Every structure is written in structure tokens, then in C-alpha cells.
Structure 1
Amino acid sequence: MSGSGAASLSPSKAEEFSPPGSGGGGKKRDPLGSGAAIHPILKDVGEIYSRLLDHRPVIQGEIRYFVKEFEEKRGFREVRVLENLKNTVFEANNQTLPKCDQVMHGSLNEALRRLQAGNDMICRLQQTEQEGKQLQTEKLMAGEKQRIAQWEEFLKEQHTLKAVVDEEHAKAMERLKEQYAIMEKDLAKHTL
């Protein structure tokens, strides 16, 4: 309120402070003694009040700026953007998402089928490899048993050969002893 200061006072106070010739009745006394000096003070108080305490003009200006900025200049652009977003989300929920779900299920089923086939092939390969290892182990065990049998036979044969060689050696030693005994007798005969 940028009006006069007297308008901001109550009517009884305005009469007290009104100048004597202004129709205030003149019967009441001026407390300060001079009515002409009070009128500019009241005007100043009214201006100070309107500047410091009355925020309506500033708020009204901000409201007008806000309305102008968001309604007039932008032309409901945010509403259109939100509407477009709503349409996009609705389309995604009703069309795109079911298609993606269907494609995903088809692809996952195909991938699962392939994984199961691969798993079956790996199981067969593993079983074949295990059977091959078992067969190889059996062959190695049979070969080892055969080598052990051959070694035992070889040792028996060597033992038999040793016995034969020992016997021949003993016979040869006996013959040599007899021969040396005969030679000694002959030598003793010749030396005597």
C-alpha cells in the first residue's frame, strides 16, 4: 500500500492527528502541538510500511512472472512432454515388452535345447574316454602280469642255467683235480 499514512491509521487516530483545517472537527487537541509537521511524518511512515512490511507488490510480480514463464512462454510444453512420455511407456508396456518377452523365451528355449545337446555330447565323450582309460588300464595290468610271469620264468631259467653251469664247473674242477693228481704222480715218478 503506497497510499497516504493517514489511510493506514484507524479513524479515531486519524482525527487526532489531522491538521486543524482539514475537517477533523477542531475540538480535539493536537498532542504534539503542530498538525502541519505530523502530516509528512505520517506519509513517511506509510511509505516505510509499504516498503518494508507490505510484500504484496513483490509477490504479485513474482506470480505474474511465474504465470508468464510457465503458461505463456512455454505453451504447456511440459504437459506435452509428459503426455509423450506416457504414450511411450504405454506403448512399451503393451507392444514392445510382450515382443521382447516372446523373443527372449524363444531364444532361451533354443539356448537351453542347445546346452542340453552339448551336455549330452560331453557326457558321451566323457563316458567314452572313461571306458578307454579303463581298457588301457586293463591292458596295462595284463601286460604287467605277463611281464611278471615272464620275469619269474626268466629267473627260474637263470636258476636252472646257473645250476647247470655250477654242475659243469664242479665236474670240470673234478677233472682238473684228477688231471693234476695224475700229473703229480707222473712228476713224482719221474723225479724219483
Structure 2
Amino acid sequence: METQMGCEAAPRSGGGKKRDSPGTAGSLAHLIIKDLGEIQSRLLDHRPVIQGETRYFVKEFEEKCSLQEMRVLENLKNMIHKTNEQTLPKCGETVQDNINQVLQRLQAANHSVCRLQQREQEQRKSPKIHSEHLIASEKQHAIQWEDFTKEQHNKQAEVDKEHKKAMERLKGQ
């Protein structure tokens, strides 16, 4: 054992390696521990990386969303401008034209009804008219009235259908 100890002791005290002073060994150990801590944090602690990636993702998401919202708002603005400048005046003109046509038809129908009422009143006032003629005339008026109401219902259905189509076009626009 002495030889082993002697061999071991010789290099320490001999001229091989120089032994570090106690203060240097402590600072070296401290640096090694610090390096190990840094290595451990880099290998095992992923929080800084995850936080950086999270910040990047949030930043990109917010930028893309704001650009997308701006595009949507710009499209809405253009659509509203187009509607105000083009669609609404056209719709107003179409409505005005149709209202004028309907008004003319109603005035013609009103005039026809007034003439029929005048004829009926004149026939009732005249004493010379026979009862058979009155009955025939009343039947004729009843038939005319039925035809008139049927025609009015058909026209009403036609106007309703045109109105429905116009509303669908407006909804589409």
C-alpha cells in the first residue's frame, strides 16, 4: 500500500501538475455549477421558448385578424356606396313607374264603375222600362260585376307576384 500511496503522493507534491489554490477551486466549482444550471435550463426549461412562440403567434393572429376585419369593412363600405348610388335610384324609378301604371288602371276602373252606376240609376228613374228589361239588365250587370271582380283579383295577384319578384331582386342585391 505504501507504494500505491507513495505513487499517488509523488505526483501531487512533485513537479507534474500544479495544485490549484483553495480559492480558485471554489470559483471553478461555482462556474461549473453555473454552467450546469444554464445547460439544465436550456435543455429542460422550455418556458422562454414557449413564451416567445406564444407572443409571436398572438402578434401574427392579431395582425391577420385586423387586416381581415379591415377588408370586410372596406367591402361593406363599397357595397353600401354602390347601393346608395346605383341600386336605390333604380328601385325608386321602378317603383314610381309601377305606381303610375297602377294609378292609371285604378282611375279607369273607377270611371267604368261610375258609368255603370249612372246607367243603373237612369234606368230605375225611367217609368217606361219594363220589368223584364230591368231583370235582364240586372243580370247583365251582375255578370259584368263578377267579371270585373275576377279581373281585379287576377290583377291583384299579378301585382302581388310582381311585388314579390321585386322584393326578391332587392334582397338579392
**Which of the five TM-score ranges fits, normalised by the shorter chain?**
0.3 to 0.5
Of Structure 1 and Structure 2, which has the larger fraction of its residues in helix?
2
TM-score, scaled to structure 2: 0.40
TM-score, scaled to structure 1: 0.37
The structure with more radius of gyration: 1
